[in-house]
Structure 1
């Protein structure tokens, strides 16, 4: 899994960068299916994972943990994600995530590039175009709007 960013001297061909924080109970039994889906979108060059960190809140402490400590069952090689570390997630980020985690829970923090958009962004930048807004529509709002369209 390639995770590096171009050097500052390189031509910039980077798509929009997003992050996700996913919370789960530390006693959850993982079958690796979530990581398999992540691996799939990386393999298809849709996203590029820049950083992937796992954090656990044990009540009094918040610590970064290794993906191997999650107890994933199945045949997914979790080591494939170990190289996703550009340094974009730092100790301050880990502390911020830890502050919102429930005790007895852990979180995966994923920083990723929307790699599919990199050529589009580069082409637009060369013409002088500039991104002036970005956002995300919550899934529940999309579902509600679709339900309204269906009369439901």
Structure 2
């Protein structure tokens, strides 16, 4: 990447989607939705890995370029930066259950790139980010509803 393209880079995130043994399907609806997000300019996929964690905890990482039957994901393969290193794989796999398969997607939030660039030009820097788990949001909304019922 050039210095000017780095200046325009949006926030980069990753997700890990884990499947029980024998139940992974990376080419169905999930792949179509990923392609829809890239085609819409919402995200840019930087890297994709498929991780297999054996029952004994050993991990095998497969780059998308090494996978068979990519289906619609084949068109993303040529654009991937293959950013993740061996240490990253170990850290990501720590979240997995033994005997499972997971897809790891590293992506740039293109929708946020103009804001991130403006913040950098203004002298700012991102010092933290995070996600609120959906289960926590649901629990909070349910708790608020219960409080409303009590207050009636």
Instruction: Give the TM-score category using the shorter length.
Output: 0.7 to 0.9
Q: Which runs of 5+ in 2 are unaligned?
A: none
Give the corresponding residue for 1:38.
Answer: 34
Which of 122, 138, 150 in structure 1 is aligned with 2:145? 150
Backbone CA RMSD of aligned residues: 2.5
Which of 69, 74, 97 in structure 2 is aligned with 1:102? 97
Higher-Rg member (1/2): 2
Query: Contact 2:20–2:100 (CA<8 Å) still a contact in 1?
Result: yes
Q: Which runs of 5+ in 1 are unaligned?
A: 1-5
Deviations 1:46-67 (A, max 9, x none): 1111111111123354212355
Give the corresponding residue for 1:63.
Answer: 60
Deviations 1:1-42 (A, max 9, x none): xxxxx3235461011111112211230152611111111111
TM-score (structure 2 length as normaliser): 0.77
Between stretches 86-95 and 97-106, larger displacement belongs to 97-106
Please give the residue correspondences for 1:2-151 in structure 2 after superposition, counting only pairs within 5 Å: 6-8=1-3, 10=5, 12-28=7-23, 30=25, 32-60=28-56, 61-65=58-62, 67=64, 68-69=67-68, 76-151=71-146
The structure carrying a bigger helix percent of its residues is: 2
TM-score (structure 1 length as normaliser): 0.77
